[in-house]
Amino acid sequence: MKTLRGAGELPPREVVFLAKRGNTVEKETWIIVGLGNPGLTYAHTRHNAGFEVTDILSRRWNAPLHKRKCKGLLAETTVGDCRAVLCQPQTYMNLSGECVEELLQWYKAPLDHLLVIYDDIDLPLAKLRVRKAGSAGTHNGMRSILAHVPGQEFPRIRVGVGAKPEGWELADWVLSRYTLREEQEAMAEAFQRAADCVEDWLTHGIEDAMQRFNRK
């Protein structure tokens, strides 16, 4: 693995990583997976926070999520000096790991080149939490991913969707939508900040993203 000559003078993630394949040279691949459930029935529910953020990135980067591969909807593009892959698994939440496992194998990407975005009922509404590794907690999508990948050492962005109100079943809560205008506005801003965080990770790395976005 080589870097361009003189690249040491650039910010951390602006270094262009190159890998030789035959007579060609390719950039390393960074994979961004947003978790959710496919279909209009689940669109804009609390459980689809990952889809919301990857939709924003798809629009920002002019990279439509229409390629079907690895049990997901994909968009492949270049962001700065990075080759980036956006993915929305189409397996439904509880089987998300099947998609992520295939992605890592297809793109031959190391685990720390994967970033997963998902909802979290244990965080206050619209709060972000960025981590470079960790367990799945109570999230079934992340449990599936950890069952299919070789470790916990990959970054993730958790988007707070608020705690389950008393009297609600958990499944009903995460599959509900934001009904109050204040909630809708707060979450719209949170999704934009999460997209900003992804771009910061691609440019400067996970430590910088954690410092910037965990304190907001």
Q: Say how many domains are in the chain.
A: 1
Within 10 A of 122 (CB to CB), how many other CB atoms are there? 15
Q: Work out the average pLDDT over 87-114.
A: 98
Residue 20 has pLDDT above 80, yes or no: no
Under the banding of pLDDT at 50, 70 and 90, the label for residue 34 is very high
Report which of 207, 199, 195 is spatially closest to residue 84, judged by C-alpha positions.
Answer: 199
Q: Which residue has the tokens 């109570």?
A: 138
Q: Is the pTM of this model over 0.85?
A: yes
Q: Rounded to whole angstroms, how far apart are CA atoms 215 and 180? A: 25
- pLDDT, residue 26, reads 63
Residue 60 has pLDDT above 60, yes or no: yes
Range of lowest pLDDT (11-20, 24-33, 166-175):
11-20
Question: Does residue 139 carry a catalytic annotation?
Answer: no
- pLDDT, residue 24, reads 42
Q: Rounded to whole angstroms, how far apart are CA atoms 53 and 64? A: 13
Q: By residue range, what is the domain housing residue 42? A: 2-213
Give the active site residue among 47, 66, 113, 204. 47
- For 174-204, give one letter per residue: b (16+ CB within 10 A) or e: bbeebeeeebeebbeebbebbbbbbbbbbbb
**Interacting residues of 22 by C-beta distance below 8 A, sequence separation 6+:** none
CATH number at 207 reads: 3.40.50.1470
Q: Rounded to whole angstroms, how far apart are CA atoms 205 and 78? A: 16
Q: Work out the average pLDDT over 34-41.
A: 98
- pLDDT, residue 9, reads 36
Under the banding of pLDDT at 50, 70 and 90, the label for residue 208 is very high
Residue 216 has pLDDT above 80, yes or no: no
Q: Work out the average pLDDT over 78-92.
A: 95
- pLDDT, residue 82, reads 87
Count how many residues are written for the chain. Answer: 216
Contact 36, 88 (CB under 8 A): yes
Residue 134 has pLDDT above 60, yes or no: yes
- pLDDT, residue 28, reads 87
Range of lowest pLDDT (4-13, 53-62, 137-146):
4-13
Contact 36, 50 (CB under 8 A): yes
Range of lowest pLDDT (3-12, 27-36, 78-87, 204-213):
3-12
Report which of 179, 166, 160, 175 is spatially closest to residue 94, judged by C-alpha positions.
Answer: 175
Under the banding of pLDDT at 50, 70 and 90, the label for residue 80 is confident
Q: Work out the average pLDDT over 189-205.
A: 97
- For 19-46, give one letter per residue: b (16+ CB within 10 A) or e: eeeeeeeeebbbbbbbbbbbeeebeebb
